[in-house]
Amino acid sequence: MQLLWGIIKFIVIILSSLWVGVFVWTHQPLGRYVSLALISVWVFFTLAVLVSIIKPALFSSLLSHQSLLLIFFAVVAIAIACFFSMSASNERDWNPEVAQMLDYRLDRDGNTLTISNVRNFDWQDKTHFQPRWEIRQYDLAKLQTVDFIASYWMGDAIAHTLVSFGFSDGNQLALSIEIRKEVNEQFSTLGGFFRKFELVIIAADEKDIIYTRSNIRHEDVYIYPINMPKDHIQALLLAYLAKAKSLKTQPKWYNSLVNNCTTAIYELIDDIQPLPFDYRILLSGYIPSYLYDQQLIDNRYSLQQWQQRAHINPKSKPYSVNHPISTAEYSQLIRTDF
């Protein structure tokens, strides 16, 4: 029993120490080098605590095993308190591509939807672009479709996911739940667990937000039409917009596991059209197979056939800054095999 208790203490101490170390490294409160020095001291202190479990007599003349544990967990408690005291904010020096937050209004007729801050950047490469934020109007009476987009950049299990709403007049409105990076800030999966990034919903032109991933970042992008009744499609669009508007007054943290681009989509759809929870919701790259199993993707074709049809890169590859394509042409092009 004593051995088991010792093993449990070992595991708890190692995991707690790792959490504190990653938390400090993620935020680097005193700068890169001071934070690195603090983490090094913390690692050596953790090793001392672990040694004191095995051979407590070595520390009896300096600090007892119990004293070392008390100091260790006091530091852990302080780190946890700092973590939970952090508040999300909309007042930071934002990266240009997430600098604006969308707003919207519905006219009295209930059909004319006006959205401000629709992103329509003109991208030359990953770092060079012409910023453009627009006000656009959409007729909800003409809302017809919703498509699910998955963009893969690091293997089959992980993808960035977004949706695009289609109107009978040819308009498309893409909505993407993203991290809100500050200037000179880079995406970090670990950072997403430690309140490093706020959450933002970006409304965008398809030729901006989808083309950028397929033709500028060279990610593998797939687009799937979703089977939903029109009233559910409209409810989903309005739920997206309401969530985006709420973030303007109540900013939220992005979380790599439970509050990300895919889990947020699942929650929005589940409120309208209840769906069973599945591990694939956490492994976003497998969401297309989940949607297929729920018959939200047309089962008249196999999933493999859909993946071939849905892959937009071969269709959009010929187009570039030197060989441009219009928004309307691009939206039609990526759907040619539907």
**pLDDT, position 337:** 79
Number of CB atoms found within 10 A of residue 324's CB: 11
**pLDDT, position 5:** 77
Q: What averages of pLDDT result for each successive group of 10 residues across the chain (338 residues)?
A: 79 96 94 95 94 76 80 97 97 96 91 96 91 97 97 93 96 97 90 95 97 93 97 97 96 94 94 94 96 96 95 89 83 88
**Stated length of the chain:** 338
**pLDDT, position 62:** 65
CA separation, residue 166 to residues 145, 177, 211 (Å): 5, 18, 17
Contacts made by residues 331-336, CB under 8 angstroms, sequence distance 24+: 331/170, 331/172, 331/206, 331/207, 334/206, 334/210, 334/223, 335/147, 335/223, 335/225
Q: 59-103, pLDDT tens digit by residue? A: 666 678 788 899 999 999 999 999 999 999 999 999 999 999 999
**pLDDT, position 224:** 97
Q: What residue ranges do the domains of the chain occupy?
A: 2-85, 96-333
Residue 278: burial class (beta carbons within 10 Å; 0-12, 13-18, 19+): middle
Contacts of 134 (CB under 8 A, 6+ apart): 117, 118, 119, 120, 205
**pLDDT, position 3:** 72
Q: Residue 119 carries which DSSP code?
A: E
DSSP 228-267: --HHHHHHHHHHHHHHHHHHHHS--B-BTTTBSHHHHHHH
**pLDDT, position 63:** 74
**pLDDT, position 1:** 67
**pLDDT, position 231:** 96
- Write down the residue that tokens 């999300």 correspond to: 88
**pLDDT, position 60:** 65
Q: 146-196, pLDDT tens digit by residue? A: 999 999 998 899 999 999 999 999 999 999 999 999 998 988 889 999 999
